[in-house]
Chains A and B, each alone.
Chain A
Amino acid sequence: MCKDSSKQAKVVCEARIVTNVAVAPDTFSLVLDAAELAELVQPGQFIELNLHQPDLVLPRPISVYQTHAAGTYDDGSYGALLELRYQVMGEGTRRLSTMTAGTTLGIFGPLGIRWPVPEEVKSALLVGGGIGSAPLAMLAQELTTRGCEVTMVQGGRNSDLLIAADLFAVTCHKHTLATDDGSRGFEGFVTDPLQELLKDNKSHFDVAYICGPEPMQEACSKLCEAAGIVTYVSLERMMACGVGACLTCVIPTTEGPRGVCCHGPIFNSKEVMWDEARSARVH
């Protein structure tokens, strides 16, 4: 599927769990001792996790939430670390959630492309839904470091599920929250505060980045596109290989069929053929 072998170096290794702790209901922070991979990974990329469970033949794709520079972490001293945020969805993530520090997982990556950032970016809009906020964290940090003004609109089912809201509150210049039950921020979906934002600032944002459930990404990207903003989304599909070899994860785009694992997971929203892609949605 992906024709040109990428220029980025890849790592396959065994990685020890440094910590694996609940940070919200059914939501965990997994820190892995994987210096080589941590040094390569770019915002928006993911890795495959082989849980070493004989009956689960496939690895689990999880985005990188953050990397931590070499030094001390949680009372130990390490090389660079990789941090993921995952939610318990099925058997694999359930078993993962019971694994303790010292357990080894097979990992490989970095996989997929990174969030594209325009050269002259001055103001960026980030929209995250549920666990989909996690893959935006590194991007928010990078943009802020580059002097870009970052606005984050973050949604979740309730206040507990506003993933990494503390990090975004500190990193982003503007941080707007929405919860389905109104327990924090706007009551309702992220589309409501998003519409507000876009109404006041027609051409304010140079670029928008969206990650979350696919219906939310579709709705939000249409709003951003209508406001004339270049918009990127990060999609999920069932994956087997994660590297462009098996064609499990293909979606239809205006550029032809594309592998979510290798051409994506990040796509310009205008290229995604949402209707045709619907039948293979994971949720």
Chain B
Amino acid sequence: MKQEVPASTSILNDTSAKIRTATLLGNLHLKNPLTVASGTYGSGLQMADYIDLNNLGMLTTKGVSLTPWAGNTGIRMKEVSSGMLNSIGLQNPGVETFIEKDLIWLRANVPDLPVMVNVCGHSASDYASVIERLEDESGIAGYEVNISCPNVSEGGHVFGATCDGAAEVTQLCREKTSRPMTVKLSPNVSNVAEIARAVEAAGADSVSLINTLLGTAIDIRKRNFIFERQFAGLSGPAIKPVALRMVVEVARAVSVPVIGMGGVRSGLDVAEFMLAGASVVAIGTASFGDPLAVERIRRELEEFCTEEGVQDVTELIGAVT
């Protein structure tokens, strides 16, 4: 499970800390194991007034589809104890606008930051078309194929729920690109390891998990659902134990690297996900309360490593016994 990081990447290490934070995601060199969870950080530029994006190991964008998607109507969010439910519905302006506005901004402002573009579609061929369109564009480190969004009727979770559906999308996307490609898995299945094996066999270079857990909330006085689509996606610390268990299951089942996420809010949580088997850890909901969360979490991870005598963060990957 543990991966070797070439010595040449050591210059990427934060010089203020003695801990080696550089990590590999397949053949992608990241200066630290932290990224942001898709949909919680826009395309990065919305956060740039607050944080130096170059401090991220990698940026993961909001889902991008072939044509503009309007997203869901009605209430889109409800806070719950230690978490939140969202029903955004993958609203995005489509791949052309993404290229014109977001990608151009990223290229101009953070040329050295690895950018993972999260891709979504209504049909399997939609996903492949988005990737095909992005292939000619520079400034993209890889793709995260989202087959696990619970908030849309077509696409999303529909593909992530079965091995065949997951493999079909993965394979079609694989045919379009040789860039690193991760497939984002749904926790709303009975056997996540099986799906992970299917996407690995279909050509995924890595897998990421978990997307949000399906949940709901009811207005008890009006006796109706809070959300127009009735069910919504749960994120935040409430889902961390489930996410961690699934990362363990998947890391044991596949040999490609794992991007772990779900309720991470501290450097200690990152260490826990890495011990569970994650090579890279994504921070989502935690950024809402504090736009600087990723920076704080990276510092905390380094402090933890110092305390534990860990000189290289990659030592943690899969080291749970």
Contact = CB atoms under 8 A, between A and B. Distances in A.
Interface of A: 1-3, 5-6, 8-10, 12, 50, 54-59, 106, 108, 238-250, 257, 262, 276, 279-280
Interface in B1-47: 39-42, 45-47
B285 interface: yes
Q: Which one of A8, A55, A276 has the highest number of Cβ atoms from chain B below 10 Å of its Cβ?
A: A55
Contacts of A246: 39-40, 42, 86, 88, 288
Closest CB pairs A-B (n = 6): A245-B42, A245-B46, A10-B49, A248-B77, A244-B46, A279-B74
B84 A58 contact: yes
B71 interface: yes
Interface stretch (B184-192, B289-297, B302-310): B289-297
B46 A238 contact: no
Interface of B: 39-42, 45-50, 62, 70-71, 73-79, 81-84, 86, 88, 91, 101-102, 228, 236-237, 285-292
17 contacts: A2-B46, A5-B46, A10-B50, A57-B79, A58-B289, A108-B50, A241-B40, A241-B287, A243-B50, A244-B42, A246-B39, A247-B39, A247-B71, A247-B91, A248-B76, A248-B88, A280-B74
A50 B76 CA distance: 20
Most buried by B among A10, A54, A247: A247
Nearest to A277: B73
Majority DSSP secondary structure for residues of B touching A: loop
B77 A240 contact: yes
Nearest to A57: B236
A6 B40 contact: no
B65 to A, nearest CB: 13
A129 to B, nearest CB: 22
Contacts of A249: 76
Nearest to B81: A55
A58 B88 contact: no
B86 A248 contact: yes
Contact of A238 (B39, B75, B292): B75
A3 B76 CA distance: 21
A56 B46 contact: no
A18 B76 CA distance: 35
B20 to A, nearest CB: 28
